[in-house]
A and B are shown apart, each in its own frame.
Chain A
Amino acid sequence: QVQLVESGGGVVQPGRSLSLSCAASGFTFSDYGIHWVRQAPGKGLQWVASISNRGHNKHYADSVKGRFTISRDNSKNTVYLQMNSLRDEDTAVYHCSKEVFPLFGGDAFDTWGQGTTVTVSS
């Protein structure tokens, strides 16, 4: 079945880096845009970043622009989120999600991973 599994979360000090992975299965990975969405404790859902099916187009929320980098390896069916200069406010559960329709142009997300928890704390 269609599945996304995140990994790489953990506890990290402010200013340090962390890299998240999102492993996909059950669909033609190279056909779909992938997004990262996070949920801080007690808060709602916040879109973080997105990458097109071939990796040529990337977009970021203003709050992470210049600090986070999204990338993908279609040979490994995996999307990555490199997070640098982490701040307390980056503490959240990070979900990766798949667009409903192939190609890339902004879409709803029909498959989500369970999420991986990132805690930024000294």
Chain B
Amino acid sequence: ETVMTQSPATLSVSPGYRATLSCRASQSVGSNLAWYQHKPGQAPRLLIYGASTRATGIPARFSGSGSGTEFTLTISTLQSEDFAVYYCQQYHNWPPITFGQGTRLEIK
């Protein structure tokens, strides 16, 4: 099983600033990496797939990079609605499809 490790567990950033979230895979997942935003009581929202392709309707302030085992999600200028939990997911070595444990992005 490919273990996905996200860091940090919690990130405190002020609105208007940049947030950088990391995700590491225990073995190569190529570019088969997605990022999701999840708010309480809502369905998770796909932000990025293929490591760097923004999903339909996702603002340009969200960007993804990386390949192999190291990945980054960057939110360039944080808006109030961006504070949520973010998950990475690999779909290269499956089954099982695996998620990271999540990074909670909170307002500083």
Contacts and interface: CB of A to CB of B under 8 A. Distances in A.
Interface of A: 35, 37, 44-47, 50, 59-62, 95, 97, 100, 106-110, 112-115
Nearest to B102: A44
A50 B99 contact: no
Interface of B: 32, 34, 36, 38, 42-46, 49-50, 55-56, 87, 89, 91-92, 94-102
A108 B46 contact: yes
Contacts of B46: 100, 108-110
Per DSSP, are chain B's interface residues mostly helix, strand or loop, or mixed? Answer: loop
Name the residue among A97, A106, A115 with the largest chain B CB count within 10 angstroms. Answer: A106
Given A44-B102, A108-B34, A110-B56, A50 B43 contact: no
SS of A interface (majority) = strand
Contact of B49 (A46, A97, A108): A108
